[in-house]
Amino acid sequence: MESGRLVAPVHSSVRKAPISRISVIGGTGYAGSAIVAEAVSRGHEVTSLSRSLPTDQVPGVRYVQGDASDEAVLTSVIEDADVVVAALAPRGDLTDTFREVNRTIARLAASAGARLFVVGGFSSLRPAPGAPRYVEDLSAVPAELHHEVQSGAALVLEDLPAAPEALDWVFVSPPLQFGSFAPGERTGSYRVGTDVAVVAEGGAISAQDYAIGFVDQIERTDLHRTQVNVAN
């Protein structure tokens, strides 16, 4: 895969990928809600799990209210899925249990024979091939964010590689400017790379463009136990 390659997504009306049952854990968050909307727009069967139900629900989505820390709740939305999307953040109620919850998701996905796609973070990427990952030097990051950054990066550096070999996983990192603090604009295109950060050309990537790239990765068949970077 060529790092930084510009991708103009194929419109859903001419898509060739088969319909999948996709369960999004954290489906009402910033990234999760955009992924839910994009996936259902392409005809996939989408289930969204979240602690609370959204006021504005996307037609065609099955919304489930529950705690991602509850294994029984996770099992109920993972056991029949083809694809599981983990779109949780290492903050709030998950500050201390984020990695444990994601390890449970990985184990259940492996048992269900589902592929796992994880909404990742920027700091696990490298500035150049073979270079140390950004997470290895957090001197420019406020100390109060270190735990969050390190917990997110640990998923792809430690936890996912240690997951059962039967689990097919993909860790999808956004660029540095990604979040409600920098919403960006929908362009309908994106660039994709590996574990080397794609240099953003226009600042932030919107949640919608990240979701387009994310669901495109789900619809591919050549990604296995790897990290990719979706940027603008």
Q: Model confidence over 183-200: pLDDT tens digits?
A: 878 899 999 999 999 976
Query: Among 120-124, 141-145, 152-156, 196-200, which is the least confidently predicted range?
Result: 196-200
In a 10 Å sphere around its CB, with 0-12 CB exposed, 13-18 middle and 19+ buried, how is residue 28 labelled? Answer: buried
pLDDT of residue 7: 57
pLDDT of residue 199: 77
Model confidence pLDDT, tens digit, residues 105-118: 999 999 999 999 99
pLDDT of residue 183: 84
pLDDT of residue 16: 62
Q: pTM here?
A: 0.93
Instruction: Give the integer Cα–Cα distance in Å for 22 and 45.
Output: 6
Q: Give the burial string for 181-213 (b: 16+ CB within 10 Å, else e).
A: eeebeeeeebbbbbbbbbebeeebbbbbbbbbb
Model confidence pLDDT, tens digit, residues 201-211: 667 899 999 99
Q: What is the mean pLDDT of residues 51-74?
A: 97
Mean pLDDT of the chain: 92
> DSSP state, 69?
T
Model confidence pLDDT, tens digit, residues 77-99: 999 999 999 999 999 999 999 99
Q: What is the mean pLDDT of residues 4-13?
A: 47
pLDDT of residue 146: 97
pLDDT band per the 50, 70, 90 thresholds, residue 70: very high
Instruction: Give the integer Cα–Cα distance in Å for 42 and 89.
Output: 25
Full strand arrangement of the beta sheet holding 83-86: 5-7, 190-193, 226-231, 169-173, 115-119, 83-86, 21-25, 45-50, 62-65
pLDDT of residue 204: 84
SS3 112: helix
Instruction: Give the integer Cα–Cα distance in Å for 7 and 33.
Output: 22
- Higher-scoring residue by pLDDT: 5, 151: 151
pLDDT of residue 34: 98
Model confidence pLDDT, tens digit, residues 154-187: 999 999 999 999 999 999 999 998 999 888 788 9
Q: What is the mean pLDDT of residues 26-37?
A: 98
Q: Map tokens 């060739």 to a residue.
A: 16
